[in-house]
């Protein structure tokens, strides 16, 4: 692996860097704004937003431009665990000690120009028929509703609540995306996973058809916090909320067609959600390799990438990494913005033919632009004196 890190002007990172939390847990996410909680409380008809609350959105906050993602499901279905693992770098094993959610938690995810939304985690006992519950205010302005179903439990009650929830939400906001996470599948065999997904898919759509809601589309995902499936599923959910997605995909298609790259991802390095990829199919093994590469890069850079006095940034504009596997595959990572990285997969012969080792794997003149100032990709400049270079041959 080849790593290049230069001294930057950004504030240093602090905290511990374990295998399960490559970034510090307090790095890169929105600031809590307790004064915003009252609107959520009023809409839910009592209680209070939890300590994870922050930010404003829609009728309940100050920033109506941020998409809102609702996490719903029965008690103990795994909603809070998903949020903590994906966005707060909690180890999956630590989620065993999470208490059941008994009030709405409102989390402002603002770590980059594209992953910029709010997550509202709802308690499983939420009663939509309670007259004090203003579900119209909740669903109005929501970008996506994620309903979590525990695949290891009897899901008949969950399907009933799913139907009630999406029916009410669709009448208020038909533009909303409806996502179903068939969760905790790590304890099921492959055949059982497929059968469970087929059964839930069939029953849920039959219920919608009987109610005359054939136009309501549900997307289904098999997920677990113990592998990368939850990150893959959340990537698909978030991508639907990015208006620049077609442009990004087109630019990545142009990029790989001119560079000999087989697959390219634009990653949010904090959550390991991929913001965009090229049009070729996503292979789960390739996605997992890219996620593992991000972990390796951040872990190594937190140890070796800072200056001797501990100042500087472990991930800055000169961050770049190359990992060569023993099956002639090369993984390439290049910083795009403070929180985004381009991760590519290519063959070793293409890598050597393009001579990308020192200049960066970029096509001359290739740039990524967006109204939110995503940034650009360009051949990397020479390293500063404080930069380091580490070479590793990885055998898998």
pLDDT, position 183: 96
**Which sign does the torsion angle of CA 379, 381, 387, 389 carry?**
positive
Of the two residues 48 and 74, the one the predictor is more confident about is 74
**Banded model confidence at residue 111, pLDDT cuts 50, 70, 90:** low
Strands 320-325 and 218-222: what pairing? Answer: unpaired
> In whole angstroms, how far apart are CA 354 and each of 154, 261, 297, 346, 357?
54, 10, 23, 11, 9
pLDDT, position 254: 93
pLDDT, position 396: 35
Residue 388 has pLDDT above 90, yes or no: no
Residue 233 has pLDDT above 80, yes or no: yes
Give the highest mean pLDDT range of 9-23, 106-120, 260-274: 260-274
Per 3-state DSSP, the chain is made up of helix, strand and coil in percentages (nearest 5) of 35, 20, 45
Angle at 289 between CA 286 and CA 291, to 5 degrees: 110
**Banded model confidence at residue 162, pLDDT cuts 50, 70, 90:** very high
Q: Which bin fits 80, alpha (ψ -120 to 50), beta or left (φ > 0)?
A: alpha
What confidence tens digit (pLDDT) does each residue in 292-309 have?
A: 999 888 888 888 877 777
**Which sign does the torsion angle of CA 351, 357, 358, 360 carry?**
positive
Residue 54 has pLDDT above 50, yes or no: no
Instruction: Return the number of other C-beta atoms located less than 10 Å from residue 124's C-beta.
Output: 17
Quickly list H helices, 173-228. Answer: 190-210
**Cβ-count burial 326-365 (b if 16+ within 10 Å, e if not):** eeebbbbbbbbbbbbbbbbbbeeebbeebebeeebbbbee
Secondary structure of 19-88 as H, E, C letters: CCECCCCCCCCCCCCHHHHHHHHHHHCCCCCCCCCCCCCHHHCCCCCCCEEEEEECCCCCHHHHHHHHHC
Q: What is the mean pLDDT of the chain?
A: 75
pLDDT, position 380: 33
| pLDDT, average across residues 263-278 | 91
pLDDT, position 96: 87
Question: Quick check: 155 and 149 in contact, CB under 8 A?
Answer: yes
Question: Quick check: 137 and 60 in contact, CB under 8 A?
Answer: yes
pLDDT, position 366: 39
């Amino acid at each position: 692996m080849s790593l290049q890190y230069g001294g930057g002007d950004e504030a240093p990172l602090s905290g511990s860097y374990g295998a399960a939390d490559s970034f510090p847990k307090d790095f890169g996410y929105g600031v809590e704004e307790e004064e915003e909680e009252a609107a959520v409380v009023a809409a839910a008809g009592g209680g209070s937003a939890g300590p994870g609350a922050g930010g404003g959105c829609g009728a309940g906050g100050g920033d109506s431009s941020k998409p809102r993602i609702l996490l719903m499901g029965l008690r103990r279905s795994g909603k809070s665990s998903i949020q903590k693992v994906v966005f707060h770098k909690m180890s999956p094993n630590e989620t065993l000690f999470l208490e059941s959610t008994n009030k709405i938690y409102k989390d402002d995810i603002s770590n980059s120009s594209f992953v910029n939304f709010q997550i509202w985690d709802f308690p499983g006992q939420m009663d939509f028929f309670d007259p004090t519950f203003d579900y119209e205010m909740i669903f109005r302005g929501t970008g996506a509703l994620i309903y979590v179903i525990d695949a290891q439990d009897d899901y008949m009650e969950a399907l009933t609540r799913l139907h009630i929830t999406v029916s009410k939400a669709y009448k208020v906001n038909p533009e909303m995306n409806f996502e179903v996470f068939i969760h905790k599948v790590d304890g099921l065999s492959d055949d059982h996973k497929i059968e469970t997904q087929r059964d839930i898919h069939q029953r849920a759509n039959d219920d919608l058809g009987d109610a005359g809601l054939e136009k309501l589309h549900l997307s289904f995902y098999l997920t677990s916090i113990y592998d990368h499936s939850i990150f893959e599923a959340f990537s698909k959910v978030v991508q639907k909320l990015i208006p620049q997605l077609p442009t990004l995909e087109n630019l990545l298609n142009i990029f790989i067609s001119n560079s000999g790259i087989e697959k390219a991802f634009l990653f949010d390095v904090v959550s390991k959600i991929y913001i965009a990829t090229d049009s070729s199919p996503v292979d789960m093994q390739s996605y997992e390799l890219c996620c593992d590469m991000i972990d390796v890069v951040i872990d190594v850079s937190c140890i070796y990438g800072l200056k001797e006095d501990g100042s500087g940034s472990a991930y800055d504009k000169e961050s770049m990494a190359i990992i060569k596997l023993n099956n002639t595959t090369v993984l390439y990572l290049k910083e795009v913005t403070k929180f985004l990285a381009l991760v590519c997969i290519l063959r070793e012969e293409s890598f050597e033919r393009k001579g990308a080792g020192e200049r960066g794997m970029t096509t001359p003149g290739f740039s990524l632009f967006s109204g939110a100032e995503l940034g650009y990709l360009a051949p990397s400049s020479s390293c500063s004196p404080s930069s380091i270079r580490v070479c590793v041959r990885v055998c898998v």
